[in-house]
A and B are shown apart, each in its own frame.
Chain A
Amino acid sequence: MHAEKESVLTGIHFINGDTACCEGLLAAGAKFAAGYPITPSTEVVERFAQRAPTVGGLFIQMEDELAASITLQGMVWAGQKSFTVTSGPGYSLMMEHIGYAAMTETPCVFVDVQRGGPSTGLPTLPAQGDMMQARFGSHGDYSTISLVPNSPQECFDLSVTAMNLAEKFRVPVMFMMDECVGHMTEKVVIPPAEEIEVQPRRRTSKPPDEYLAYEVGEDLVPEMAHAGEGYGLYITGLTHDKKGYPLMNPKQQRELIPRLFEKISRAADELTIVEADGVEGADVVVVSYGITSRVAMRAVHLAREKGLKVGSLRLICVWPFPEKLIRQLAPKVKALIMPELNMGQVVIELERCSGGKTNVVSLPHPGGTVHDPLVILEAIERGAQ
């Protein structure tokens, strides 16, 4: 299925990442959203508030992020595609409902335009400090998907992918932008609607008397029915059986929770979304994501000018982590270098997957600005020795 014509602003634009993200979500079919303003994400909802009525949808500004993060799920169960947008402090408030979406298998997108933290931190300056929160932030154990764009163009393209993956796997997808990418203005090409692939809601074709809300087939993803369609849904955040009825015992927990992981881990290959540049035959590979990848690329070019064999591996999908790829890569290189705008988060996973087969170098940064490329260059040089 492709995007609806009236939702897509086909053309060549000069817009920032926040705006592009909004256009991407619209193109992906989201007409309804709930939010609460917070820098540096406000442009997304401001844009959406203006755009939504023109496509027959609406934006509601709720009283806080706790509300926004569950209002959007009401919208989804009423049959719409929906999302919310926030930054650090609001993202923390949304955690309970990310868990609710994971547990109830509510397809939706949470956009986090990351800023410096903890607490109120650096409201207008970049960081990547919410990456572990994106993976583990809500209590209990669940699995989800996190995508990280590094340009306004990708804010468009990848937010379409984010919504598509949310619908395909029935999970909340984390769209992990940062202040730089959100506020950076660049050329964004929005293709014609017919060229944009959109994953429709996976609706049941069964009549109500045969339908079980959490019955799954091959790919472990249940099919959905909506409120008002006569299915008599029972949706709960409690551990539940196939009907959706609460069933709170260890046996049911074992039936449900591992499936929430497996529906994603089974698709590991599809969810290995990276951009590799000169990784084959490299001595050193810089592994990065988001805005940091653009700085890393500068360091990689400088190193190449010095004759070093260095590659760049940009993680576009950070969670699930591209484990297989790293396991294959680690023994082939002298060092894997990971700059991040945090004190070392995703590098923990890089180190785990490297299994001691290479030297993993963390280049932490507390945020507020980006790395000095020369710091990355220096690490490359040391790693290549």
Chain B
Amino acid sequence: MSTLIEPTALTNPVERVLRNDRIPTIWCPGCGIGTTVNSFAYALMASGADLKKTAIVSGIGCSGRVSGYVQLDSFHTTHGRAIPFATGLKLANPELTVVVYSGDGDLTSIGGNHLIHAARRNMDLLVVCVNNMIYAMTGGQAAATTPGAATSTTTPYGSFEPELNIPQLVDAAGACYVARWTAFHVKQLEKSMTEALKKKGFRFIEVLSPCPTLYGRRNGYADGLAQMKEYKELAKVKNGAPTYEVAITTGKPIIVGKFVDRDRPDYLTLMRSQLGAHYHEIAEAGVGCGDDSEGKEGCCSC
């Protein structure tokens, strides 16, 4: 019998940004979500972000639990609505760095509309989408990202709808940073997250991640490791690939990399520059109330 290595006097560097009293996590053995959190933790530390002024917002799902394991201001909101909540945080306190961390179902199906419009507005948010190609938390039902060839509990005969190419969607909607990695690409993901944390505007990173319990087991993967090995085998780095070419097709290479990195003014920047020009007009017009009765009885025309 071999002996276990005992905990040493050292601490894992990621603990500096984790809520250690919440560990162990709820995640299954071999789930990739925690792996993506390592990359995120190192990226947070590397980006130089003021952690006291950084908020993390999640929707509902296994991936949505990330917000609760990171020692930031954590908001676990409702299913699909992390982005609008994050939008409110950012608008009301522009000093905050706001990260949305959630699942594929949460961000692209029930929350798909918010994703499109936050990208269009170029809201200053970093959105990390953990794509395990399934609705995991509810027990393995089909998601918009489930490959046609795969089965799920609600598509026992396979799915009859093509899967969503998420990078293409957010690119088309106007995101200024779009990347895809997998849980296997821990270093690239960290670098990408660091870079994205430092950038302004709507930034989106998709991370493919194994869900051995509810996707893998059903679809021929012995465990999370088997899915990780497949990522390693199938992934092809193609930075700058046109996003219409990066759809995930079963058995074909998984295109990863940084696809989009563009600059355009974010929502608040545009607002400030446009309001700047009009602000005095608004103020001088007596805020829309043409009341000239100066408090005396009578009607104003507002």
Contacts from A to B (Cβ < 8 Å):
9-15, 19, 32, 34, 47, 50-51, 53-54, 58, 60, 62-64, 66-68, 70-80, 82, 96-97, 100, 187, 226-238, 245-246
Contacts and interface: CB of A to CB of B under 8 A. Distances in A.
Given A62-B117, A74-B91, A235-B76, 18 more contacts: A9-B291, A12-B297, A13-B299, A53-B275, A66-B80, A67-B113, A70-B85, A74-B75, A77-B88, A78-B90, A78-B91, A78-B96, A226-B93, A228-B53, A228-B96, A234-B74, A237-B77, A246-B76
Contact of A74 (B52, B87, B117, B275): B87
B68 interface: yes
Nearest to B287: A54
B74 A233 contact: yes
A76 B116 CA distance: 24
The B contact surface, by secondary structure, is mixed
Contact of A12 (B73, B75, B295): B295
B298 to A, nearest CB: 6
B114 interface: yes
For B282, B287, B298, B299, the residue with the greatest tally of chain A CB atoms inside 10 Å of its CB is B287
Contacts of B233: none
A232 B85 contact: no
Contacts of A100: 77-78
B288 A82 contact: no
A227 B89 contact: yes
Given A12-B296, A51-B288, A237-B78, A228 B95 contact: yes
B282 A54 contact: yes
18 contacts: A9-B287, A12-B293, A51-B287, A53-B279, A60-B87, A70-B77, A74-B57, A74-B84, A78-B96, A80-B92, A97-B78, A100-B78, A187-B299, A232-B19, A232-B73, A232-B74, A234-B76, A236-B76
A50 B112 CA distance: 29
Contacts of A54: 279, 282-283, 287
Contacts of A15: 300, 302
Given A67-B81, A232-B72, A237-B78, A72 B88 contact: yes
Contacts of A51: 287-288
Contact of B78 (A63, A71, A96): A96
A70 B81 contact: yes
A78 B88 contact: yes
Given A63-B113, A230-B52, A79 B93 contact: yes
A32 B88 CA distance: 9
Contacts of B73: 77, 227-228, 231-233
Given A50-B288, A100-B78, A228-B55, A234 B91 contact: no
Interface in B43-78: 52-53, 55, 57, 68, 71-78
B55 A227 contact: yes
Nearest to A53: B275
A60 B78 contact: no
Interface string B188-221: 0000000000000000000000000000000000
A235 B68 CA distance: 9
B299 A14 contact: yes
Contacts of B301: 14
B271 A58 contact: yes
A147 B220 CA distance: 58
B161 interface: no
B228 interface: no
A73 B74 CA distance: 14
A50 B275 CA distance: 11
A66 B95 contact: no
Contacts of A237: 76-78
Contact of B89 (A10, A19, A75): A75
Contacts of B246: none
Contact of B91 (A67, A73, A75): A75
Contact of B88 (A11, A14, A71, A232): A71
Given A51-B288, A234-B68, A73 B88 contact: yes
A235 B56 CA distance: 11
Given A58-B271, A71-B84, A232 B71 contact: yes
B91 A32 contact: yes
B218 to A, nearest CB: 27
B93 A227 contact: yes
B163 to A, nearest CB: 23
A352 to B, nearest CB: 32
B86 interface: yes
B294 interface: yes
B252 interface: no
B9 interface: no
A278 to B, nearest CB: 29
Contacts of A228: 52-53, 55, 73, 93, 95-96
B289 interface: yes
Contacts of A230: 52
A221 to B, nearest CB: 20
Nearest to A60: B91
B96 A227 contact: yes
Contacts of B88: 32, 34, 70-78, 82
A16 to B, nearest CB: 10
Nearest to B53: A228
Contacts of A79: 92-93
A80 B84 CA distance: 16
Contacts of B283: 54
